[in-house]
Amino acid sequence: MHNGIFCCVRSGMSMKKYFSIVFVFLFTLNVSAQESDSIMLRKIYTEILLNGKAYEWLEHLSNKIGGRVSGSKEAEQAVEYVTGIMKQTGADTVWLQEVMVPHWVRGLHEVAKILKSNQAVKPLQITALGGSVATSAEGVTASVIEVRSFDELKKLGADKVKGKIVFYNHVFDQTKINTFEAYGEAVRYRWYGASEASRYGAVASIVRSMSSSLDDYPHTGAQGYNDSLQKIPTCAISTMGAEELSNTLKEDPKLTVYLKFNCSMQDSVKSYNVIGELRGKSKPEEILTIGGHLDAWETGKGANDDGAGVVQTLELMRSLKSLGIRPARTIRAVIFMNEENGLRGGRVYASEAIRKNEKHIAAIESDCGSFTPYGFGLEMPEEKKVIIRNWAPLFRPYLIWNFEIDESGADISPLINQAKVPGIGLIVDSQRYFDYHHAASDTFDKINKRELLLGAAAMASLSYLLSTYGL
């Protein structure tokens, strides 16, 4: 095949034959490119699987720093730590991009109890939702109305809801194969639950944790008040707690629940996106953004959400640099701040990119956990998807096969929506993610080193191809 051109120069030929030969030549070029790309991907995977540092960095981020909600001391420490690592990776330039972030502080006391009609008391595991107001100092005690959906709530109306605690007991749909779909259905009760309950005069709301596991860890997460309605305290309850409360309500509908938590919203705080670049050799003005987010709920240690994405992004920089790869286009690693409760990092990044008229070819995010990768989500026009899908054979040896999902990541969504940049998400095995997500169980012991590194290698490989060929 590599001798195709030499043959055609020696022989007389028709126009048709000429085009055939040109086709063969182009095909040959293409095969050669795929061969050298294939060799490069093997180098990237080998470098990361043998010498990757992501696991050790994540151990530090999870165990030495821990949960790091926006505006906290831990978030500040994490910015400092990650800046140091970014420099260690050998990035050509490293800088901080200022971001003003909300500073919501969970109180020390989070208590909930079922108070039965017969005076018996049962404790419940709850945690305030991000952004919730506190209960009053004496707490809230009220009877409970359980619903499975907003429709049910609406049908009950103010008559049945006023003065009560609304308990959203939507069960995570275990029949979904991709757990993100089940999460998508459940999370609206977290986000809109307090407002909708308040609409009908409820005094507080409790949401069943959107978790695939039946255990006693409540899962927090952001919620969004409707400014035109009274802001009521709102919290998540563990899945076991939800079962307990629901069962107890069946036998004792007159029970009350006592809730007390003392969280508070404080003044906004100056924080940062941490950015590092490997400057492009031939087209430095064309930028590929890669990232994850640094902030993490302080219920857990932010190992999977999204310490994994942070260290995979750093690992990508380290591995390309240590292989001596100087990308054709600029690869820019962005460790975003404030994905969890504001998306301020992603917003500032996009608006600065637009203000500076930067040319972004694509953005990749890892924010689905540290598990075995199996694909890339493509949030972009069809003709660009085709380009990436043509690379699928290069990824098959690494068990990366799915290029059909059309989602990417939250931090890069402002860039995708406002600057029409193609977005890409690392797709990983989703079975375990919502066991730990936003809960005290999101800890470093859940991380498998090989799985984490395989995710970094997949991202580094796609980054290499995008930086070489553009999109």
Site residues (vs its own copies, CB under 8 A)? 45-46, 49-50, 174-175, 177-179, 212-213, 372, 374, 397-399, 401-402, 429, 431-432, 435, 448-451, 454
By three-state DSSP, how is residue 287 classified? strand
- What is the DSSP code string of 202-221? -SEEEEE---SS-SS-----
Show the tokens assigned to 251. Answer: 């036998």
Adjacent-strand bridge partners of 142:
257
Using CA atoms of 34, 35, 41, 42 in order, give the dihedral in degrees to the nearest 10.
160
In what order do the strands lie in the sheet containing 165-168?
A: 121-123, 110-115, 256-261, 140-147, 165-168, 204-208, 234-237, 126-128
Task: Name the pairing type of β-strands 283-293 and 140-147.
Answer: unpaired
Catalytic pick among 146, 277, 286, 339: 339
Angstrom distances, CA of residue 266 to CA of 104, 105, 226, 271: 6, 7, 19, 14
Q: Which is nearer to its own copies, 168 or 436 (CB)?
A: 436
CB closer to its own copies out of 49 and 100: 49
Nearer to its own copies, 112 or 311 (CB): 311
**45 vs 57 by CB, closer to its own copies:** 45
Q: End-to-end CA distance of the chain: give it in Å, rounded.
A: 28
CB of 174 to its own copies, least distance (A): 5
CB of residue 216 to its own copies, shortest distance in Å:
15
Which of 133, 428 has the CB closer to its own copies?
Answer: 428
Q: Which helix (H) or strand (E) holds 102?
A: strand 93-105
The helix/strand/coil state of 82 is: helix
CA atoms within 13 A on the CB side of 58: 34
CB of 42 to its own copies, least distance (A): 8
CB of 454 to its own copies, least distance (A): 7
We find the least distance from the C-beta atom of residue 170 to its own copies, in angstroms, to be 15
Tell me whether residue 352 is one of the annotated catalytic residues: no
Contact 57, 302 (CB under 8 A): no
Cβ-based nearer residue to its own copies, 169 or 179:
179
The residue among 389, 394, 419, 387 whose CA lies nearest residue 404 is 389
| Residues recognised as catalytic | 339
